[in-house]
Amino acid sequence: MASRPYKSKVVIMVSKHDHCLNDLLYRYRTGDLAIEIPAIISNHPDLEDLAKWHGIPYYHLPISKETKPEQEAKVWQIIEESNADLVVLARYMQVLSSDLCQKLSGKAINIHHSLLPGFKGARPYYQAYDRGIKLVGATAHYVSDDLDEGPIISQGVETVDHGYYPQDLAAKGRDIEC
């Protein structure tokens, strides 16, 4: 009997945007990704039904300034209990604390919706529009305690022109992010 290849355990963290999560779940379901997904963690309840449909536990942990330490402790507990090999921030729109970033060092990847090192943080498509940028893209990088500064793993890029508005850039970017 041939042994099956090892499947990495990947915890996915997501906020409200579902396109990256949908793509990961589709590739997981079809076997394109040799992974197990023991948990999906979100700061919003919006995607719980999607997780349930795939039979994956969904943890809704709302984050505020006051609850961040407590909720991040729960995030870490879920990651530890699931024996995750990797954590993917698939458009998780919360800045992680330095403490959590250090715990996740080398095992967490962020899918950022711009070409880094330019346009860090929130609303990068608006930043790109304001600067008249003619390239839009996405970056997968390791999480570090400096926002969007971790080592870059991969980038995707598409050309755009002056006729693109921020919402058009975001729509084009969603395809690249996945």
Q: Cite the active site residues.
A: 148
Helices (H), 31-123: 48-53, 68-81, 98-103
Pair of tokens at residue 39: 């948990």
